[in-house]
Chain A
Amino acid sequence: MTPSAIELTATPDDRRIARYAAAAIALTVAEAAIPSPLPGVKPGLANIVVLVVLVRHGWSDAAWVSLLRVLAGSLLVGQFLAPGFFLGLTGALASLAVLAASSRLPKRFFGPVSHSVLAAFAHIGGQLALARLWLVPHDGVFYLVPIFAATALGFGIVNGLIAARLLEEEK
Chain B
Amino acid sequence: MKPWLPLLRLGDWLVAGAGLVAVAASFPLLWRGGAAERAVVRLDGRIVAEVPLTAARRIDVAGPLGTTVVEVAPGRARVASDPGPRQYCVKQGWLTRPNAVAICAPNHVSLALTGRQPGYDSLSY
Instruction: Provide the residues of chain B in CB contact with A142, threshold 8 Å.
Output: 30
Chain B proximity of A151: nearest CB distance (Å): 9
Instruction: Provide the residues of chain A in CB contact with B27, threshold 8 Å.
Output: 146
Q: Is the CB of A153 within 8 A of B12?
A: no
Question: In the complex, which of the residues B10, B11, B22, B27 has the most CB atoms of chain A within 10 Å of its own CB atom?
Answer: B11
Main secondary structure, interface of B, reads helix
Question: In the complex, which of the residues B7, B15, B30, B31 has the most CB atoms of chain A within 10 Å of its own CB atom?
Answer: B15
How many residues of A are counted as interface, with CB atoms below 8 angstroms from the partner's CB atoms? 28
21 A–B pairs (Cβ distance < 8 Å), ordered by A: A108-B9, A109-B9, A109-B10, A109-B12, A110-B12, A113-B15, A114-B9, A117-B15, A117-B16, A118-B15, A121-B22, A146-B23, A146-B30, A149-B19, A149-B22, A149-B26, A150-B23, A152-B19, A161-B8, A165-B7, A168-B2
Q: Is the CB of B23 within 8 A of A160?
A: no
Instruction: Provide the residues of chain A in CB contact with B33, threshold 8 Å.
Output: 143
Chain B proximity of A64: nearest CB distance (Å): 25
Query: With contacts defined as CB atoms under 8 Å apart, how many contacts are there between chain A and chain B in the complex?
Result: 70
Partner of A121, one of B7, B12, B19: B19
A67 near B: Cβ within 8 Å? no
Q: A145-B26, A146-B27 are known contacts. Are A113 and B8 too (CB-CB below 8 A)?
A: yes
Residue of B nearest to A118 (CB): B15
Q: Is the CB of B7 within 8 A of A168?
A: yes
Instruction: Provide the residues of chain A in CB contact with B117, threshold 8 Å.
Output: 139
B4 near A: Cβ within 8 Å? yes
A3 near B: Cβ within 8 Å? no
B51 near A: Cβ within 8 Å? no
Q: Is the CB of A143 within 8 A of B23?
A: no
B20 near A: Cβ within 8 Å? yes
A164 near B: Cβ within 8 Å? yes
Instruction: Provide the residues of chain A in CB contact with B30, threshold 8 Å.
Output: 142-143, 145-146
Q: A146-B26, A146-B27, A146-B31 are known contacts. Are A111 and B16 too (CB-CB below 8 A)?
A: no
> 7 tightest CB-CB pairs across the interface, nearest first?
A109-B11, A110-B11, A113-B12, A164-B7, A114-B15, A153-B19, A146-B26
